[in-house]
Structure 1
Amino acid sequence: MAPKFTYLGMGAMGRAMSKNLVEKGNLDKPVTFWNRTHKVASEWAAFVGPGANAVEDLLDAVKDADIIWSCLATQDAVFSCFSRMLDTNVRGKFFVESSTVTSEASNRLAERVREAGAEFISMPVFGEPTIAMAGKLVAVPAGPKESVTKILPYLEGVVARGVVNLSEQQVGTASHLKLIGNVMILMMIEAVAETHVLAEKTGLMNEVMHDAINILWPGAAGVYSRQMLSGQYYVDNVSPLVPIDMAVKVSSHVLNLAEAHGAELPAYKAVRRQIEAVKNHCGSQGDLLGVYGAGRLQSGLPYEKEKVLKEDGTRMN
């Protein structure tokens, strides 16, 4: 008999992973969705269908669950939710934590959960929301082998295309890897942005540059390029690929980690300055991919790029 799942956090990543869990997880009980804004969870449960239901109270979401899988927006939100949950009887439950937090935070959470008589693994994921919706994330579970083994059937072929298995590693190792991986992610986004700015300034069609990116560096780089050239980084009614406030917080974690260990990250610091430029221009509504807009402004172009691609990546007529 399959376990009863609860999924906490209905941001873009949480919506994608929870949908795939319902549709591909071969479960025999509905997945319970919870979000701080209940309307988001209830609307998403209605969209996903009969394999999902939503509850308003966090403790109602947890009480009947065997596995509580969370992907929350900030580290503060993670600690807030876990504080409430661990004030109740969670003995025998299994917590899978996929939020982007520091390794120290993961280790503290693991200790508190174990003291409450429950299991805990840290399992951040690599990928952005469209990749997550396609079930093509890379999952990084860390913790006791017997605990990691319990979640593996719900990873490859369900929410992920691959797994970096850190069984028997300290749970914070997964969070450590995710933060360092963030260096590559942000620099890739900045590289795509600068490439398109230079292409436009020198008379090369952005559509041609996009085709080259898709062929030479398929995957995430192509997704970032499409998001930039379809204007999704500035459209009001489109959810940000990565909210700019989240990018600020995660990049701060990375820079604090580097400073604590005496590592210089000159290129990453340059991207951080672009993130701050997006925040200054757009406020909290900004999208991380707005670094493209910031680079355009700095090169004498408007922040908003005239759309040359549709949202599906095909060219505008």
Structure 2
Amino acid sequence: MENFPSRHSTPHLHSHGQENPFSRPQTPHLGLQLGFCGLGAMGYPMAKNMASKPLANHASGSPLLVWNRSRAKSEKLLKDLGPAKIRIAESPEEVAQECDMIFTNLSNDTVVKDLFLRFASALEKSGAKNKIFVETSTVYPSLAGELDTLISSHHSRLVMAPVFGAPPVAEAGKLLVVMAGDYRSKKEVAHILIPGVGRKVLDLGGNLEKAPTFKLIGNSMILGSIEILAEAFTLGERTGIDSSMVQNLVKELLPAPIIVGYGDKILNDAFDGTNGFAIDGGIKDATHVRRLSTETDTPMPSIDTAHQHLLTARAIHAAKSLRGEEVYQTLDWSSLVAGTRVAAGLDPFDSARHDKVVPED
């Protein structure tokens, strides 16, 4: 991994307050074939919006070529949008060979690396060149260099473009996109993603590692905020303050939509990971942040604690699942409140079962 700048040097974000910091490419890429691999909770709505938006259809003139490990997701997208907008690939190698610009959104670093190895193998066999690969997952920064080595050796370019936003935000086409890589490639990618898939691009420059680093910084802010909320709500429970009052205080003091939203989840025990950010992804990201903080000698105690509480929540949920007592198939990472609740002698996931403390006047 690269040497990080000192605290006195500040990377410049080329956003300038604009939704898209890049001017339009001078020559439209008529006949451009787009591809998308990974139709999970985030990838599915991203691919759906990409295939539906007028600019993408005008630029490509052909259906979006999609691949997912489970073909059922590809079939569902085809059913939703029709063959004029979606075509299903039989393999990621087919996507790499046929497409000019390939987007990926996957669950973890190992899956990303394995897929790019397959891309590189396909390029080697076909001799195809001048592709743009766009990686939108949340991965550890050093992986960007490994992916770039695989792709650039076949005369293709990599853009790291992780996104901020939960699945409902992706569905609405309002993701915040962070980009790093070759300038011309970023320009072409940005005008496919904005508007329609994302609401704004933040440009981190040419160093590919900067984009995934920035994404981890952002996720550490969100995770740390959830941990603070979890502790505050639990303290309220133990001191006889109704949780709805705590949430009212959140709305008054910290009215950021994302903080209010996670407060609502904790208040209502709404820990369904299929409608939010699944706990496995949260644990993966917390692990990445802790590794990054260790490598840079940057203590982040709130993330250490949040990581422990995420593990506690997942372990309790797994035990309940074995007994057939789970409420949700997958937990949202806001369920880390289970860790603070259990430590305080409360039920992990059902606040209705908490003994209500009524302090004396």
Question: Shared fold (TM-score greater than 0.5)?
Answer: yes
- State the alpha-carbon separation in 1 of the partners of residues 161 and 260 from structure 2: 25
Gaps of 5+ in 2: 1-29, 319-328, 353-361
The answer to whether residue 221 in structure 2 is matched with residue 184 in structure 1 is yes
Q: Corresponding residue for 1:197?
A: 234
Measure the CA separation in 2 of the matches of 1:52 and 1:156. Answer: 20
SS of the equivalent of 1:12 reads coil
The alpha-carbon deviation at position 181 of structure 1 amounts to 2.0
SS at match of 2:103: strand
Q: 2:183 aligns with which of 145, 161, 185?
A: 145
Counterpart position of 2:355? none
Equivalent-residue separation in structure 2 for 1:56 and 1:212 (angstroms):
52
Contact 1:20 1:133 in 2 (8 A): yes
Please say if residues 62 and 85 of structure 1, whose CA atoms lie closer than 8 Å, have aligned partners that are also in contact: yes
Aligned to 1:239: 274
* Aligned counterpart in structure 2 of residue 30 of structure 1, from 45, 48, 63: 63
Deviation of 1:80 (Å): 0.4
Q: 1:46 aligns with which of 56, 76, 79?
A: 79
Deviation at residue 130 of structure 1 after TM alignment: 1.7
Contact kept, 8 Å, 1:124 with 1:175, in 2: the verdict is: yes
Report the CA distance between 1:55 and its aligned residue.
Answer: 3.0
- Offset at residue 118 of structure 1 (A): 1.0
Q: Find the counterpart in structure 2 of residue 298 from structure 1.
A: 343
Worse overlay, 222-231 or 156-165: 222-231
Q: Which amino acid aligns with 2:172?
A: A
Counterpart of 2:189, as a letter, is I
Moved more, 262-271 or 75-84: 262-271
Aligned to 2:332: 287
Q: 2:139: which partner in 1?
A: 101
Residue 222 of structure 1: how far off its partner (Å): 2.7
Give 1:18's aligned residue: 47
Superposed CA offset, 1:186-241 (max 9, x none): 112222333333344444444454455456423222332333344441x5xx6262
CA displacement 1:57-91 (0-9 Å, x = unmatched): 22223332111000110100011001111111241
SS in 2 for 1:87: helix
Question: Residue 101 of structure 2 aligns with which residue?
Answer: 67
Q: Give, in whole Å, the separation in 2 of the partners of 1:175 and 1:254.
A: 11
Which residue of the partner structure matches residue 76 of structure 1? 110
Kindly indicate whether the alpha-carbon contact (under 8 Å) linking 2:167 and 2:275 is maintained by their aligned counterparts in 1.
Answer: no
Whole-Å Cα distance in 2 between the matches of residues 79 and 58 of structure 1?
13
Query: Could you say what secondary structure the match of 1:188 adopts?
Result: helix
Larger-gyration structure (1/2) = 2
For structure 1, list consecutive stretches of 5 or more residues without a partner in the other structure.
Answer: 308-317
Identity %: 26
Farther off after superposition, 70-79 or 120-129 = 120-129
**Secondary structure, aligned partner of 2:32:** coil
What is aligned with 1:130?
168
Tell me the TM-score normalized by structure 2.
0.76
When residues 48 and 306 of structure 1 are mapped into structure 2, their CA distance, relative to the original with a 3 A threshold, is: farther
Deviation per residue, 1:146-184 (Å, 9 max, x gap) = 0100011123321222211124x2111111111222211
Q: Secondary structure at the match of 2:42?
A: helix
Which amino acid letter does the alignment assign opposite residue 45 of structure 2? A
Q: How does the TM-score come out when normalised to structure 1? A: 0.86
Letter in 1 for 2:334: L
Alignment RMSD: 2.4
Structure 1, 2-11 or 272-281: larger mean CA deviation = 2-11
Tell me, what secondary structure is at the counterpart of 1:239?
helix
Q: 8 Å contact 2:168–2:275 — kept in the other structure?
A: no
**Separation of aligned partners in 1, 2:35 and 2:231:** 41
Q: Using the TM superposition, name which of 67-76 and 200-209 deviates more.
A: 200-209
